[in-house]
């Protein structure tokens, strides 16, 4: 993996590339990262120290190992710095699919937050969200009627879970659910790291006519802990151009409309 970097955003990009390499290999060495990035071993060790504090990895002698698993998602603050440009494009593409006067459920997570950012100037939309991150963005949008689910706050994620969050959907019906995922796979369908998040998503799905999944290409073909739904319940999948031809062909064969940005 080439993680050689240039420009003012080099530190964040380098750390993002380290996370990607950890996801691929499970472990990395300081010497390998130093060679790939063209920076000193001391700089790499500082990167690993920061990422360890963020809960992404565990430093070991000479390198680091990944803490990621099917039941563990990297912290929101870490994910928010990953694939920023791709998520911006995904967010804009998904927002463009929402027509005036639609009623929309907007999910939690960093890609859904990119959709919220893209919706700020829109008018005549009703948006219900269990995400305080998304609600904070949309609260500044006078053209959007904003609703929150209520529920128990998940720290860090600032997402609402539990019975109250699920019950918020029971007496309402929406046009579209813009859903984020921990992973999406042809066989396993849409999955999430946390069971409580999966339950809220299932409750949201039961109230809508259309489901748009928004995810960066790193989650294609991935399976995490808790199943949300099969691919039969997904109408559109919006992802970025980093998706492999193999992944795209597999999802198209499952009769899902693909939007690649």
Q: What is the pLDDT of residue 9?
A: 54
pLDDT tens across 145-186, in order? 999 999 999 988 999 999 999 999 999 999 999 999 999 999
Query: What's the pLDDT at 70?
Result: 64
Q: What is the pLDDT of residue 66?
A: 80
DSSP string covering the chain, please? ------STTHHHHHHHHHHHHHHHHSEEEHHHHHHHHTS-HHHHHHHHHHHHHTTSEEEETTEEEE--BTTBPPPHHHHTTSSHHHHHHHHHHHHHTPPTT-EEEE-SSHHHHHHHHHTTT--SEEEEESBHHHHHHHTT-TTEEEEE---EEETTTTEEESHHHHHTTTT--EEEEEE--SEEETTTEEEESSHHHHHHHHHHHTTEEEEEEE--GGGBT---SEEEE-GGG--EEEE-TTS-HHHHHHHHHTTPEEEE-
User: Is domain 79-260 given the CATH code 3.40.50.1360 in the classification?
Assistant: yes
Instruction: Tell me which architecture the domain covering 10-68 has in CATH.
Output: Orthogonal Bundle (1.10)
* Per-residue model confidence (pLDDT) at position 69: 62
Which sequence spans correspond to the domains of the chain? Answer: 10-68, 79-260
pTM: 0.81
Q: Which residues of the chain have pLDDT under 70?
A: 1-9, 68-72
Residue 8's pLDDT is: 40
């Amino acid at each position: 993996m080439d993680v050689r970097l240039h420009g003012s955003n080099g530190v964040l990009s380098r750390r993002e590339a380290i996370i990607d390499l950890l996801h691929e290999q499970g472990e990395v060495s300081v010497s390998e990262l130093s060679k790939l990035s063209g920076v000193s071993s001391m700089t790499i060790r500082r990167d690993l120290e920061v990422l360890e504090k963020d809960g992404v990895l565990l430093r070991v002698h000479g390198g680091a190992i990944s803490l990621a698993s099917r039941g563990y998602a990297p912290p929101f603050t870490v994910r928010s710095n990953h694939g920023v440009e791709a998520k911006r494009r995904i967010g804009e593409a998904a927002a463009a699919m929402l027509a005036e006067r639609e009623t929309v459920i907007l999910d939690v997570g960093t890609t859904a937050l990119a959709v919220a950012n893209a919706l700020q100037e829109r008018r005549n939309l009703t948006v219900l969200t269990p995400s305080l991150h998304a609600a904070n963005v949309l609260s500044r949008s006078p053209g959007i009627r904003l609703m929150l689910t209520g529920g128990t706050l998940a720290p860090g994620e600032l997402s609402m879970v539990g019975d109250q969050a699920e019950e918020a959907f029971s007496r309402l019906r929406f046009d579209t659910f813009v859903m984020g995922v921990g992973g999406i796979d042809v066989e396993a369908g849409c999955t999430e790291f946390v069971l409580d998040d999966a339950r809220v998503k299932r409750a949201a799905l039961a109230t809508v006519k259309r489901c748009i999944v928004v995810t960066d290409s790193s989650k294609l073909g991935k399976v995490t802990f808790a199943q949300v739904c099969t691919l039969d319940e997904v109408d559109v999948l919006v992802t970025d151009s980093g998706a492999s031809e193999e992944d795209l062909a597999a999802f198209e064969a499952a009769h899902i409309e693909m939007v690649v940005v």
